[in-house]
Structure 1
């Protein structure tokens, strides 16, 4: 995306190209060490100029992208849930700090949110006609599940006792992180919990293993989203478990139930999917290798 070169004058320049549009700018230094420090900052600025376009320079009343984002998020008439608003805020803020992410799925989602923000701004005459980013549909499904030895390593060797219990509870229920990060005793019943998350209110079944964890907890968890993600990544790195994410616990929960012979309808209900079709779409690629040998 970016290339850096030194002119005969000794000054370093950076050139950024995105979707056939290129901007070149002087880094204003002949020191390689100083140039290296400037590259990430200037690259981000140039990429933003390409994405946002030059319209705001042609009309001083047009908003900068950071101003547009604030307006977009504060607009009261979006048909958004509380979770969607928080998700968009997180995506746009992270993009402004770090640029487009490398992960294909996260990058695709970020592009879709940026395009939506720009289209809204154009519709409300806050910016000129924006450059539409391509790649919003180029996402990759994730199929990572933990094997038995990885689960045992997680459950036996994770050092923080409370967080260890949280990880086990997530696996035994198949719950999303957002559904169990801030549980209250009022939402806990004998055989289930009432949780609020991605799909709104949901009843989550408690098996005996999950019930035992809750019975042993004097105080339930109250974790932030970033804490769960960062803490889990730190622990799996320490344990040497590769390509591991917290949400993979939920996928492993469903996968192991299907392998045990649980009907797909039951698994779909336990996961809180909107339809069995959703469950089949998630797990069909994983189960191809489980098909017994056959002869044609």
Structure 2
């Protein structure tokens, strides 16, 4: 029989799979009669699957609703996932997922492209559909096909936009002239000196700033990859943090936030001020996340190895960091220099060969 849980407004149902495993999940409805009907249908389907080997039809809603309920409790990006599902629902609502084909996936991709969606956006939406199917196959052992695999759109090379040191100074000068300008300037300087993401900085608390050891500590719950990391504090970052400390001491000594308002409340956004500062500084096509790209670009250009930049930025693999590799021409310059040394050795060896009487001396032809 359906039952209630304290952490959910919906009725929950339970039934036994043919494998003997019990499933307990939300019905997605607050109507007891509807929840009871859903539970009875699930039990009937499980019996047919066990006794007759029938794989019951599963609708799009049956797949996506329990997956979203799971995502709400376990995904930090739940809001983003629900936004992606809106477009999936428009295309697949009411469809039987047992019959989902590659042709339907290709048609979805084509329609979304015609609507102006980018390849990256379409792929993220299809990834949500794929994740929902895989989750149901593991959790409920439904054995649904997953034709998303191998049918994602080809994405262009990742965007890399960064600014020079002179442009950073111009941006900071304009930021100082705005409301909460000191806060915005410190945000910009901390970003380009640490490579932190916007959320990592706006959610930064003083208890995770170690000025003695000059480290910023980020726990898994604060990072996109869900992994803890520590970030060294250089002189530029230290200056920004000291400015925030002075602001805090003057206006809100009890505030736990590094970036806060005079009231002590956390600063939740700097977007409006940042866009105004960019406009006044004449910097176009530049977003807040590009401050992170700027940090990486400057490090790579200075000869810092990709692996070290990866660790600082918190990339899961070096593949993400490799988008900046073209900014380090010295690496490949050193590589081709090996050929020069080899060519030099070859010339010296040819020069040492004896010339016999009547023979013409060897000549090297340089391509």
Q: Tell whether 2:306 aligns with 1:285.
A: no
Give, in whole Å, the separation in 1 of the partners of 2:198 and 2:258: 14
* Correspondence for 1:92 among 62, 82, 85: 82
Q: For the aligned residues, what is the CA RMSD?
A: 4.1
Q: Measure how far apart 1:139 and its partner are.
A: 5.0
Q: Deviations over 1:183-217 (max 9, x none)?
A: 11110101011013023211011011111211121
Q: Deviations over 1:107-138 (max 9, x none)?
A: 32232123322454577499x86874942553
The unaligned stretches of length 5 or more in structure 1 are 1-60
TM-score, normalising length: structure 1: 0.60
Q: Say which SS state the counterpart of residue 135 (structure 1) adopts.
A: coil
* Correspondence for 2:236 among 200, 203, 209: 209
Give, in whole Å, the separation in 2 of the partners of 1:103 and 1:289: 34
Q: Measure how far apart 1:71 and its partner are.
A: 2.1
Q: Deviations over 1:84-124 (max 9, x none)?
A: x1225313325527986734333322321233224545774
Q: Deviations over 1:240-289 (max 9, x none)?
A: 432222222122212212322334454344333456x4476232233359
Note the 1:254-293 alignment, pairs <5 A: 254-274=296-316, 277-278=318-319, 281-288=322-329
Equivalent residue, structure 1, for 2:158: 141
* Correspondence for 1:153 among 170, 174, 177: 170
TM-score, normalising length: structure 2: 0.50
Equivalent residue, structure 2, for 1:5: none
Give, in whole Å, the separation in 2 of the partners of 1:92 and 1:129: 22
Give, in whole Å, the separation in 2 of the partners of 1:120 and 1:206: 41
Give, in whole Å, the separation in 1 of the partners of 2:68 and 2:332: 47
Are the equivalent residues in 2 in contact too, given 1:174–1:251 (CA < 8 A)? yes
Give, in whole Å, the separation in 1 of the partners of 2:117 and 2:270: 21
The structure with higher relative contact order (CA 8 Å, sep 6+) is 1
Are the equivalent residues in 2 in contact too, given 1:72–1:121 (CA < 8 A)? yes
Give, in whole Å, the separation in 2 of the partners of 1:140 and 1:244: 17
Equivalent residue, structure 2, for 1:24: none
Note the 1:213-224 alignment, pairs <5 A: 213-217=240-244, 218=248, 220-221=258-259, 222-224=266-268
Moved more, 90-99 or 108-117: 90-99
